[in-house]
Amino acid sequence: MDSRVVTILIESFPKILIPGLVRTIPLTAISFSLAMVIAVAVALIQFAGIRGLRQLCRLYIWVIRGTPLLVQLFVVFFGLPHVGVVIDPFPAAVAVFSVNEGAYAAEIIRAALESVPAGQMEAGYCVGMSYLQIIRRVVLPQAMRTAFPSLANSLIAMVKDTSLASVVTVAEMMMATKQLNALYYEPLALYLETAFIYLMFCTVLTRLQSWGEKKLSAYERKGAV
């Protein structure tokens, strides 16, 4: 590697990392948090079998899972302004990513809720708890423990999916890299550098996942406390 490329890489590093810290990470964090709220609500509605709302949830999941994320981004960012709804790039991306991830995560959480033994519910009833009390204090905590690895997986996937937001002009890492490449024309070096930064972010999340799993599995561990 000649020294010019090395200089470009060193100079570019903060220019890619900073959009990562101020765009990619907030975009992921906000979208994923909202997605969790949507997912828990949608999963619980289905688990409880609330008529009407349940069908609405199935429709939501069907549409979102059946259409590409990129198309959803285009519909919201380029399509909606056409009918007078103009949303800034960042909030538009947050909306699409959270609604998209919400559908997938809802299915993960629904499956986890269904995996909690029926006896847990019955035991709750028999000590006089109401349905909602049992869900909140017994069933949901166990389901979230079961869902945790899959949800961590989705979070890691989302970090990388946010690179799509560059096509709707969110100035995140991918956008920054494209601009740097237009300046220096070093596509291999620059895109590898970006890949490396994504890898660092995801490494941190992977570590957090193992830590979280250990923390959450306290009640599954055998032997002395």
Partner 1 sequence: MTLEVKAVTKRFGTLEVLKGIDLTVEQGDVVAILGPSGSGKTTLLRCVNFLERADAGTLTFDGEDFDLAHIGKKDILRLRKKTAFVFQNYNLFLNKTALENVTEGLVTARRMPKEEAVAKAERALDRVGMLDRKNHYPSQLSGGQQQRVAIARALATDPEIIYFDEPTSALDPELIGEVLSVMRALAEEGMTMLVVTHEMNFARNVSTKVIFMEDGVVLESGPAREFFEAPREERVKAFLRNIERKEEK
Q: Which residues bind partner 1 (CB under 8 A)?
A: 117, 119-120, 122-130, 133, 137-138, 141-142, 145, 218-225
Residues in the chain: 225
DSSP 49: T
CA distances from 15 to 73, 176, 182 (A): 25, 7, 14
Residue pointed to by tokens 């909202």? 34
Torsion of the alpha carbons at 163, 168, 169 and 175, rounded to the nearest 10:
20
Kindly calculate the radius of gyration of the chain based on its CA atoms and give it in whole angstroms: 21
Q: How far is the CB of 165 from partner 1 (least distance, A)?
A: 37
Q: How far is the CB of 51 from partner 1 (least distance, A)?
A: 17
Backbone phi and psi for residue 89, each to the nearest 5 degrees, phi listed first:
-55, -50
The 3-state DSSP class for residue 20 equals: helix
Torsion of the alpha carbons at 98, 104, 105 and 111, rounded to the nearest 10:
160
**Residue (82 or 222) nearer to partner 1, CB:** 222
**Residue (1 or 126) nearer to partner 1, CB:** 126
Q: How far is the CB of 119 from partner 1 (least distance, A)?
A: 4
**Residue (83 or 118) nearer to partner 1, CB:** 118
Please give the single-letter amino acid code of residue 41.
A
The 3-state DSSP class for residue 66 equals: coil
Distance CA 113, CA 110 (A): 5
Q: How far is the CB of 205 from partner 1 (least distance, A)?
A: 24
**Residue (110 or 145) nearer to partner 1, CB:** 145
Q: How far is the CB of 201 from partner 1 (least distance, A)?
A: 31
Q: How far is the CB of 135 from partner 1 (least distance, A)?
A: 12
**Residue (68 or 117) nearer to partner 1, CB:** 117
**Residue (23 or 145) nearer to partner 1, CB:** 145
